[in-house]
Each structure stands twice: as structure tokens, then as C-alpha cells.
Chain A
């Protein structure tokens, strides 16, 4: 069995007296496509904030390819290979679609400040190459035709796909998608889930997705982790999760 790309152990954080996430654990193998579900306020987005460096966990560790990243700043975690999207879309709305993706390529810059000042050949080659790659990513998510438009002019669903392209531009090993299908209609949702599965195959990236729509999660995820009140209450295949009494209780309450 291949070694896991991401191994999370016992991750916890409290805000004041509230334990937002307690003892969270998860193992992602390369190319895995897994779901993170749970009722509102269960701590799903907090887990993403911990794994991407927005918050620093009080305790625990998360190891990406052998390196413990807890305590790293957000940009270094991004360099290490964890990328994410946001529940409430956060594209750079005043930049063009292409520029949004180029921002994600920032860490691939090899030229120095002087190259930029003196407009050296290396500088121009790098810039041109990155633009090509960015366009290829946009092509992949179906936004190439809108590369020159301002990101704020894109419809909602397209902005979600733009966020995915921007995250992919950072060359992630692990991609965290925070409710990528929120606010989409049924047809769009299915297209998006198809896209996510394809991205996993093509980019060889492990994907962890938060999603409320059970049908979708059960449809594409190989394994699912269920969170309630900051704690993992179940992990397993969609089938196991569906019949797990604890999960049913968390979602429906006890009568």
C-alpha cells in the first residue's frame, strides 16, 4: 500500500472556552478523493483553516510527505503542497480571470527582483511559460474563453471553478475544496463533481471535499469522515457511513 500523502493526527484548537476541533485525525493517500461532512457548526471549515495555516492548531500534527506542517505560516504550507478553495468565494475580483490563476503560480517564480527590474531573458521566458500554463488550467476547468474578463464579471458557478484553477496553480499534492457546489443548481453540481473527479485523475492530487449535498458526496467520494461538535464520529466508505447510527443521530437528532 502506498504511504499516505497527508496524515493528520489529533489536531485540536479552542477559541476561548469552545473546543472547535478536538482530536481530528485523517489519512489521505495519493490520488484519494474523500469527503468531510457534518452538521452546520461541526468544525469542517475550521479543519480546513488548520490544514491551510489560517489558524495554528493548539496541539496535534499534520504531516505532508513526511514533514510536519503545524505552526507553518499559510504561504509556506501552500509551498509545501496544500491548496484550498473557499466556502464563500474569494477570487481576486478586480483582477482578470487569467491573473487570478497567475497569482497561484507566484511560488513557481525562479527569477529574482533584479531580473524583473532589468527585464532579463529569464524573466520574460518565465512569465511567458507561466501564462501558457495558466491558460492550460483555465482550459481544463472550461474558462479559457473568459481569460481576459474581470473575475467579478463571471457567474457564480464559474467563480467556483476559477478558485479551483487558482488552487491547482500552486501545484498542490492535497487539494481542499470547501463546499465547491454550494449555490449551484443540480445540473451544475453534477458537472462540477465530474470535473473534480477528473482533476483528481489528471493532476494526481489527493482531494478532500466538504459538501452538504449527501447524494453528491456519496456519489464521488471513496471514503467519508463525519465531524460533529468538533470531533470525528465516523470514518468509512459511503455505504458504511449511511448506515452508521451515530451519523444518523448527528444529522437527525435522537427522538
Chain B
């Protein structure tokens, strides 16, 4: 029983990170109907930004100050890069076919990977210990660490905050309106370009926060680190129903949990294989994902 709970905790902590990244994919898809493949590189850049700030603040003793500074620096860096990518790479293609934008996204992703390799080298770096891992609660087979608790709580708070922003505020309403009908939204006085940049920035800031949570738990930072996480988060978003915020959050958690249980009960070698098999099975039964709605093509 304790082992089960342990895996539940591990899975939630991992799933929380997936969920935050998955939200970025799903938000951009919801509003522009394309997969922003560069999102995984935003995650990677966030980790590097956090790394540099953490190194710079090494002499500051206070843990809460450093952690907060690192998280906010990473989120801010990701927002800036996200806004820039949208402005320079995606906006000029606004009325181009979706496929063109998709290919551009792949290009931006490669560009950022290679730029990071040129700037910082391909050798993995160690993310500084900005937060000492300590057990908060210990049973015979069960440990809940402060890091795990922070990851779970922060992810939950961000997901909750995002859902309030999207569902309760006029900003979120504008985002939903734009995602439904671009032209009519602008005719109703919504500055669609601004709303789109804003959507990118929110999604990217979540990826930035996720990268720090991930860096604290798995302190290895390198230019290709976004690829696997990004792919898993993307799958989580599709699994949950791309375009649906609830779907991305739940999809991330399910993926994290299935990985952690597979590692314990089956084999760590098969963790990705089995996790993905579950996803494929769900998609066979529900092609639009768990919370996805079948969208009729607009004529």
C-alpha cells in the first residue's frame, strides 16, 4: 500500500510538470490550430535561464528568495522568447495554410536547439541545488519530499489560476472568442494579434515554471532536454483532447502516473512504451481525446 502511495506521489510530481508543458501546446492549438513544436525548446531555454540566475545568486543565502527569483526569471525569459517567436515566425504566416505554420514551428524548434548548442555547448550542465531535497514525511517504504510537494502544489495552483483566467475574466473570454472565430472577434473590437501574443506568453510562462520544477527534481540541463519532455507533453495534450485545458492537465497527470506505476510494477525499460500504449488505446476508443470535442470544419 505504501509503495502504491509512493508511486502516486512520484507520478503526480512528474505529471504536474507534463501538465504545465502540455497546457502550452493546447492553448496555442486552441487559438491558432497548429502545434507549436518550438514549445519544447521554450522549456529548455527556461531551464537555462533559471540555471544562469541560480548561478548568479549562489551567494544569496536565503532559499525562498533564490527559488522565487529563479522561477520568475525563467518565466519571464520564456514569455519574452515566446512573444518574439510568435511575432517573427508565426504572425507573418497568419493567413497561410496551417501546414506552413507547422513546418515553420519545426524550423524554429531546430533553430533554438542549435542556437543553444552554439551558445552553451552540448555538454549537460548540473542545475544548481537551489532547494535542498528533504523528506517531509517518512514511512517504511514511503517518502514525501519537500521538492515533490512543491512541484505538486505549484502545478496545481498554476493550473487552477489558468482556468480562472480563461473562464472567468474578459481576457480569457477574448481568448476563447478568438479561438472560435478570428474574424468576428476582431469585428467585435478584440485586438486579435495582441490576444494571440498574450496566449503564447501565458503558455510559455507555464513551460518556464515547469522547467524549473523539473530542474530541481532532475538537475541535468542541456540543449536537447526539451525534446523528450516536449514530446510527452504534446502526447498528453492530444490524449486529453487538444484544445482543452482540462484535457491537457488531466493528460499530463495520467501520463506521469502511468510512467511511475510502470517503472515500479513492470520495468523501467518499458516505461515509455507502456505509457504510450495506454495513450494509443485511449485514442483508439476516443479519437478526439478524453475531453476533446469533435470540431466541425468551418465552411
**Nearest CB on B from A90, distance (A):** 5
B173 within 8 A of A: yes
**Segment 147-187 of B: residues with Cβ below 8 Å from A:** 165, 168-171, 173-174, 176-177, 180-181, 183-187
Bound-complex Cα distance A74 to B178 (A) = 13
Most-contacted residue by chain B among A78, A109, A127, A170 (CB, 10 A): A78
Q: Across the interface, which residues of A come within 8 angstroms of B184, CB to CB?
A: 86, 90, 92
**Nearest CB on B from A159, distance (A):** 13
B276 within 8 A of A: no
A74 x B186 contact (CB < 8 A): yes
Bound-complex Cα distance A109 to B191 (A) = 12
Bound-complex Cα distance A104 to B188 (A) = 5
Q: What are the interface flags for A73-94 relative to B under an 8 Å C-beta threshold, 1 for contact and 0 otherwise?
A: 1110011000110100010111
Q: Across the interface, which residues of B come within 8 angstroms of A126, CB to CB?
A: 170
A106 x B180 contact (CB < 8 A): no
Bound-complex Cα distance A109 to B168 (A) = 14
B165 x A170 contact (CB < 8 A): no
Dominant secondary structure of chain B at its interface with chain A = helix
Q: Which of B170, B181, B183, B198 contacts A106 (CB 8 A)?
A: B170
A53 within 8 A of B: yes
Q: Across the interface, which residues of A come within 8 angstroms of B176, CB to CB?
A: 92, 94-95, 99
Q: Which of A84, A102, A170 contacts B173 (CB 8 A)?
A: A102
Bound-complex Cα distance A94 to B184 (A) = 14
Q: Across the interface, which residues of B come within 8 angstroms of A107, CB to CB?
A: 189-190
Q: Known contacts A90-B184, A92-B180, A116-B165; decide if A75 and B173 are in contact (CB<8 Å).
A: no
List 11 A–B pairs whose Cβ atoms lie within 8 Å, in order of A's numbering: A52-B187, A74-B187, A90-B184, A95-B173, A106-B170, A106-B173, A106-B177, A106-B190, A109-B170, A127-B170, A169-B188
Q: Which residues of A contact B (CB under 8 A)?
A: 52-54, 73-75, 78-79, 83-84, 86, 90, 92-95, 99, 102-107, 109, 113, 116-117, 123, 126-127, 130, 166-167, 169-170
